[in-house]
Structure 1
Amino acid sequence: MPWPSNVSRRLLVIAGSIAAIAILAVLGTWIYINVISDEAAEPFGLEAGSGEALGDDAVLDGTWTVDTGSEAGYRVDEVLNGMDNTVVGRTSDVTGEITVSDDTATAAEIVVEMASVTTDSDSRDGQFRDSIMNTDEYPTSRFTLLETVPLGELRNSPEPTEHTVRGELTLRDVTREVEVELALQAQGDSVRAAGSIPITFTDFDIEPPDLAFVRVEDEGFVEFSLSLTRE
């Protein structure tokens, strides 16, 4: 028996409302990703020809400290209402020291204040500080170098030198060995270091959000750009 016309009209109205809400959600997400939100920053890197060799007389041995102009953060892909989006969070609240002996970096420790890492979204940053990274309990993240890095080329070459080095990364008090893609470049009296560390969040007991409207990928990158000056 066919439904009464008023019931059919109600069903059509409900179906139309659901379709309209779905369209508005997709349209709103597209506008947010492509119009409202900032374009994701490019990965840190060093430009060929932009350096300045330290010179034969430069003293490399000693302690180099992380100076003003340094940044660190993360890069991760998310699916927002079915649309791909790249999120980049960064902070300049970075400290650390590198020990150099015989023109070789023999030890390094870099510390990042996690509560200061921000993106273009206050709500995302609040979730990052609270449920994801729990910065009240785990305020810092730390990288420690596990192997030596030669620095002698910085004396005579203005070009970036590239290295793959092992280290230990600590997030939320969980430490794992990682591999760092590192670029170094002399710039006058300072040295620039830039690179990234691929990570899987669950390796550090971090559960990326997986909600009805957003799903964050389980893999991402820790990124850094450091300005180093010798004490």
Structure 2
Amino acid sequence: MKKLWWLVGAVVIVVIAVLVGPWFYGQFIAEDDAPAASVSTEGAEAATGSVDGQWTVTPGQGSNQTAAGYTVHEILNGASVTVVGSTGDVTGTATVEGEKLTAGEVTVQVATIATDQSRRDNQFRGNVMDTGTFPTGTFTVDSPVDLSGLPADGSVGTVSAQGTLTLKGQSRPVTVDIDVLRSGDDLIASGSIPVTWTDFGVTPPSLGFVTVDGNGTVDFLVSFARS
């Protein structure tokens, strides 16, 4: 009889763990990630010189360190969370002539994008993005962008850019609003590009313990210095 009660108790504990575990995780463990980095005016200075010239992506400094990645919503172990992955492994150039951005390209090493979960990152690099075959993502400016209205007093202005986003070897036209800060002799820009993952041949994971939304954003904060 004692053995029977022990077995019944063990079954009850397992059932409770299965039913309550996801709720407990969602209520007390799971948290949304901090939002993707965006232009900060902390420590900003008035712009020096003209915005015209050749510009190169730099690591940045302070709150404006160069980073790029993604934001998605997922259900993980029953909890609804917002996930942000990022990397500082970003390169690129820009050309400004007559106060217009006439050319620009930013390249991200996708394999180095990381979150706080190594299991998620392994799935991202392998089954999701196949970074062994498609190691980079790029954004290229397709049409001139007027920068003449950007403030020169250390505050942020916003411009709209038409470009091409390439992920997993698939290229699509996109439009993005970009916040831009001219601080001293630096140019800092950030934005989020809305994407439908299947447009780029990316299948959002649905593995039982995790389900990822079909839409998200590609995010960037890029610091430029004169070449």
Give the TM-score normalised by structure 2: 0.87
Q: Counterparts of 1:50 and 1:163 in 2: how far apart (Å)?
A: 22
Indicate conservation of the 8 Å contact 1:63/1:98, yes or no: yes
**Please, what is the CA RMSD of the aligned residues?**
2.4
Is 1:51 aligned with 2:47?
Answer: no
- Structure possessing the higher radius of gyration over alpha carbons: 1
Letter paired with 1:27? F
Q: Structure 1 vs Structure 2: percent identity of aligned residues? A: 36
Q: Counterparts of 2:17 and 2:68 in 1: how far apart (Å)?
A: 41
2:24 aligned residue: 27
Q: Counterparts of 1:17 and 1:51 in 2: how far apart (Å)?
A: 56
Count of residue pairs the alignment pairs up = 220
Q: Counterparts of 1:45 and 1:82 in 2: how far apart (Å)?
A: 30
Q: SS at the partner of 1:126?
A: helix
Q: SS at the partner of 1:41?
A: coil
Q: Counterparts of 2:225 and 2:26 in 1: how far apart (Å)?
A: 44
Indicate conservation of the 8 Å contact 1:185/1:193, yes or no: yes
Q: SS at the partner of 2:111?
A: helix
The 5 A counterparts of 1:1-231 are 14=11, 17-34=14-31, 40-47=33-40, 51-55=44-48, 58-69=49-60, 70-154=66-150, 156-231=152-227
Q: Counterparts of 1:11 and 1:140 in 2: how far apart (Å)?
A: 54
Q: Counterparts of 1:158 and 1:210 in 2: how far apart (Å)?
A: 45
Deviations 1:147-205, CA, capped at 9 Å, x for gaps:
21222344633221112221100000000011112010111110110111000000001
Indicate conservation of the 8 Å contact 1:119/1:125, yes or no: yes
Tell me how far 1:93 sits from its aligned partner.
Answer: 0.3
Indicate conservation of the 8 Å contact 1:77/1:86, yes or no: yes
Tell me how far 1:78 sits from its aligned partner.
Answer: 0.2
Give the TM-score normalised by structure 1: 0.86
Q: Structure 1: 5+ residue runs without aligned partners? A: 1-6
Deviations 1:29-62, CA, capped at 9 Å, x for gaps:
544414xxxx51223323468532324xx13322
Indicate conservation of the 8 Å contact 2:38/2:220, yes or no: no
Q: Structure 2: 5+ residue runs without aligned partners? A: 61-65
